[in-house]
Amino acid sequence: MKNLIFVLSAPSGTGKTTILKILKDELKDVDIVVTYTTRKPRPGEKDGIDYNFIEIDEFKKKIEKGELIEWSIVYGNYYGIPKDKIEENLKKEKKTLLIIDTQGGLKIKKIYPNAFLIGILPPSLKEQERRLRERKDMPEEEIKKRLSFSKQERDVIRKHYDIKLINRDLRKTIEKIKKIILS
In the complex with ligand ADP, the residue whose CB is nearer, 58 or 137, is 137
Identity of residue 164: K
Other beta carbons less than 10 A from residue 129's beta carbon: 17
Other beta carbons less than 10 A from residue 24's beta carbon: 15
Other beta carbons less than 10 A from residue 132's beta carbon: 22
CA pair distance 141, 41, nearest whole angstrom = 18
Distances 52 to 148, 158, 169, 181 between C-alpha atoms, Å: 26, 29, 29, 24
In the complex with ligand ADP, the residue whose CB is nearer, 64 or 134, is 134
Q: Which residues pair with 117 in a beta bridge?
A: 7
Residue 167 within binding range of ligand ADP, rule CB under 6 A: yes
In the complex with ligand ADP, the residue whose CB is nearer, 57 or 134, is 134
Judged by CB under 6 A, the number of residues near ligand ADP is: 14
In the complex with ligand ADP, the residue whose CB is nearer, 158 or 172, is 172
SS (H, E, C) 169-182: CHHHHHHHHHHHHH
Residue 17 within binding range of ligand ADP, rule CB under 6 A: yes
Residues 120-159 that bind ligand ADP (CB under 6 A): 131, 134-135
In the complex with ligand ADP, the residue whose CB is nearer, 130 or 159, is 130
Residue nearest to ligand ADP (CB): 15
Please select the residue that binds ligand ADP; options are 9, 12, 35, 96, rule is CB under 6 A.
12
Residues at the contact surface with ligand ADP, assessed by CB under 6 A: 10, 12-18, 131, 134-135, 167, 169-170
